[in-house]
Amino acid sequence: MARGVERLLIVDDDEGVRSQLRWCFPEYQVLLAGDCSEALERMRGAQPPIVLLDLGLPPDPANTSQGLMALREILQGWPATKVVVVTGNDERESALKAVAAGAYDFYQKPVDADVLRLIVSRALRLHAIEEENRRLVRAPESPLPGIMAAAPAMLEVCRMVERVAPVDATVLVLGESGTGKELVARALHALSDRAEQRFVAINCASIPETLLESELFGYERGAFTGAVQRTVGRIEYANGGTLFLDEVGDLPLALQAKLLRFLQERVVERLGGRGEVPVDVRVVAATNRDLQTMRREGAFREDLFYRLSEFTLRIPALREREGDAALLAHGLLRHFVQRDQRGIAGFSPEALSAIEAYDWPGNVRELENVIRRSVIVADGRVIQVRDLGLPHPDSGDGEPPLRLREAREAAERNSVARALGLANGNIMRAAEMLGVSRPTVYALLNKFGMKADSSSVGGGIRTCKE
């Protein structure tokens, strides 16, 4: 193979059997282990893709089967490894348990070298295919860190971020709670000329009104009881960089006036101070509230609204992003499996259907919590519907467009986005699901504005890595 000699680990307590099996695989770099601890040591050192494991290893002092224990430890630490268990004639039930626990296959003694070589060869081929698939769907460094998207509405947001980021305009990001407004703000900062400077975020709804002014504008020593020294506010601290005002719709009216003056004059006056401090900062604000309605009702200043909304970005809710729930679920699963070192390979088809059918009122934040929980509670290599804790999918769909051309294009666009989500961004698998060729998929991606540049994943998804 192009990658050179492949590694194969043989785990058996019988030295004669280890020697016999070793000579069966002259084309492999064979590693040997006589017990569970030695096997794990070899895995940590060489990480072989294929393991031949004797289930009949003698039990440990606690009378626990070392074979099954080694299998669980290997799959938990190296979930991509293909483990072939080798058993005696009277251990078929144990072999079936091992396969249910995640072993690739099993083979009974006495060993037929040709058959065993065939099993190992197939396992290695499957491992190589899966590794290539993981390489294809892993996101390269992306200009929009933190976001994954296949839905046209979200891809349009990504394009708008790329366009407005280099321009030093104040941006207002609108969207429901949990849609990723701060991630968009961070992407605006990362793509701007201020990327090397600070990104300073403040949640206007989480700080009491009596403290919010001093947090934003800072204060001089003696400005109030407890002000024992001069303190720089968040606005001044962000000088040269980007200031992110989250939940700006919760600002009290008195502070709205002071923030407006800062946006107009680009100077701040600390509490208890007399001098003005010039500040060069890019402002990005976000809210899940309807500022237009608040403006009409007098709850939000009209002049401040227009100052903040030099450019407005609207983040679609997850339920409006066809196919993105499954795509995000795959990305979140990879993240949590790596972080928690869990031997979980993916979702069952039923689990993916439940993810797609759910309405996600809490948006991406709720999806993240659900996937995090499922990684903790799952007791197999595949996450099932019960691990997600989601309701059964409803059968009702929204009213389709009436005009045939619009209905056909909407169906095509949604089918492509859904297939990309279920296929985890892999164009070949998406084409198989859609029953078309790969060139046809690429043509559809072009047609619906879903084809990305070199920063895309799988040839059809704009990805902003988490």
Residue whose entry in the numeric block shows the structure tokens 């669980």? 72
- Which residues are within 8 A (CB) of 253 and not within 5 positions of it... i.e. 6 or more apart? 299, 301
DSSP class of residue 341 equals T
pLDDT tens, residue by residue, 219-268: 888 777 777 788 889 999 999 999 999 999 999 998 999 999 999 999 99
% of residues, the chain, pLDDT over 90 = 35
Domains and CATH numbers, the chain: 7-137 (3.40.50.2300), 170-309 (3.40.50.300), 319-463 (1.10.8.60)
Q: Is the pLDDT of residue 176 over 70?
A: yes
358: nearest Cα among 415, 319, 329: 319
The pLDDT assigned to 90 comes to 66
The pLDDT assigned to 463 comes to 40
Reported as a pLDDT band with limits 50, 70 and 90, residue 4 is: low
Distances in whole angstroms, Cα of residue 73 to Cα of each of 37, 76, 107, 382: 10, 5, 20, 17
% of residues, the chain, pLDDT over 70 = 86
Distances in whole angstroms, Cα of residue 317 to Cα of each of 3, 151, 321, 359, 449: 44, 11, 7, 10, 19
7: nearest Cα among 113, 166, 128: 128
Reported as a pLDDT band with limits 50, 70 and 90, residue 173 is: very high
Q: Is the pLDDT of residue 140 over 90?
A: no
Reported as a pLDDT band with limits 50, 70 and 90, residue 411 is: confident
pLDDT tens, residue by residue, 433-447: 888 777 777 777 777
Q: Is the pLDDT of residue 60 over 70?
A: no
Q: Name the token pair of 410.
A: 């909407």
Mean pLDDT of 111-118: 87
The pLDDT assigned to 287 comes to 96
Burial 405-416 (b: 16+ CB within 10 A, else e): eeeeeeeebebb
Q: Is the pLDDT of residue 466 over 70?
A: no
The overall pTM is greater than 0.75: no
